[in-house]
Amino acid sequence: MAAGPREVLIHKGENVMSGREEQELAGVSLLGNQKTKYPDQYEPDILETFVNKHPDNDYFVKFNCPEFTSLCPMTGQPDFAAVYISYVPGERMVESKSLKLYLFSFRNHGDFHEDCMNTIMKDLIRLMDPKYIEVWGKFTPRGGISIDPYCNYGKPGTPWEAVAFERLTHHDLYPEKIDNR
């Protein structure tokens, strides 16, 4: 039942005012689901999107994922990282719980750090067709060296294509002091 431009949604037996209409939430099934199953293998199909209500505004959305894990493809040893995902949405946005479950799905996935970050970026591009996206993994050291792969993408034929090139060519010119890993 509509209450002006908003709908009253029933959540756990209570009326909840929502800033979104029911059809805008179609396809969002994991958020609020108490029976969530955590994937034990790489699972890009778990990602969900919702409609960006402000596609004419350019703005960044940033996710900080400090507990990312994957496996070394050679040794099977665990790799740990903080992963930063920033994007400028187009028509669709990634739903955060599905992103959390997707990132969790790398837990038993054996791939190099660079491959994991590029896979994440490409999966998100296919999912939501953003104007711009960047993914940066800051991995803890193994064997005395840390690896921090950075990848980005700007939608071809838009000003964001030039932004991607600029950010990539000037990325990490002044790296932070490494004393926390």
Active-site residues, by number, are: 72, 79
17: number of Cβ within 10 Å:
10
Bridge partners, residue 142, by sequence: 145
The string of DSSP codes covering 97-139 is HHHHHHHHTTTT-B--HHHHHHHHHHHHHHHH--SEEEEEEEE
CA dihedral sign, ordered 37, 62, 178, 112: positive
At residue 17, the 3 state secondary structure works out as: strand
Pair of tokens at residue 152: 């980005």
Q: b or e along 160-174 (b: 16 or more beta carbons within 10 Å of the residue's beta carbon)?
A: beebbeebeeeeeee
Question: How far apart are the two ends of the chain, measured CA to CA in Å?
Answer: 52
